[in-house]
A and B are shown apart, each in its own frame.
Chain A
């Protein structure tokens, strides 16, 4: 099993550009999450999903959108990137809210 994978690993954007981060899991988990990690702030939840076709806002949802069209995939979109969105993004999945398992992360820089 690959576990949780994230694409891409690195990305540099200019302010105003858009992009989509892809998260995939092969553990048949119901729940999936998107976090951002910034120095000294731990992980903050952006959006999450409790099943295929569902999404919900987390702690810091502004400027991001998500979609969960397939159970194994959870997409995070930035419609108009801003420098404040420079961060490391982590995806995680869990079986019905139990232990979360994390992907390797995507390092995003917005210039």
Chain B
């Protein structure tokens, strides 16, 4: 089955430090991968996507993600985290029928 996994329920970092949110995928063929962010009591906001091309994808709010085919990973990164980056982050993969399969989510807390 095509799916993604987010191995960490929570990530805690200090403001100004690098932030990494992990995602691994299991798909046949070339994956279409997405990252979304959800702030409290809000809907999901699209951050970035990988379809093909450069393995490093740049997105909104200074986030980027690195596609690694050999490790089947698509980790989300930000060089210098802000307190305002505290939110719930979801990785997703496009599956048959133009649907998305989401990971369980990772709660990011950035402390001042």
Which stretch of A11-19, A72-80, A90-98 is in the interface? A90-98
Say yes or no: B42 contacts A104, CB within 8 Å. yes
Per DSSP, chain B at the interface is strand
Given contacts A42-B90, A43-B90, contact A102 B99 (CB under 8 A): no
Q: What is the bound-complex CA distance between A41 and B9, given in angstroms? A: 11
Interface size of B in residues (CB-CB distance below 8 Å): 20
Q: Shortest beta-carbon distance, B107 to chain A, in Å?
A: 10
Contacts of A97 in B (CB 8 A): 94, 98-99
Q: State whether A33 and B90 are in contact (beta carbons under 8 Å apart), knowing that A102-B45, A104-B42 are contacts in the complex.
A: no
Instruction: Give chain B nearest CB distance to A26 CB in angstroms.
Output: 15
- Residues of B that sit less than 8 Å from A by CB: 9, 34, 36, 41-46, 49, 90, 94, 97-100, 102-105
Write the chain A residue with the least CB distance to B95: A45
User: How distant is the Cα of A96 from the Cα of B42 in the complex, in angstroms?
Assistant: 24
Give the interface size class of chain A: 20 to 34
Main SS at interface, chain A: strand
Which residues in A have some Cβ–Cβ distance to B below 8 Å?
4, 31, 33, 40-45, 48, 50, 56, 58, 90, 92, 94, 96-97, 99-105
By Cβ-Cβ distance, the 5 closest A-B pairs, closest first, are A97-B98, A102-B43, A42-B102, A102-B44, A43-B102
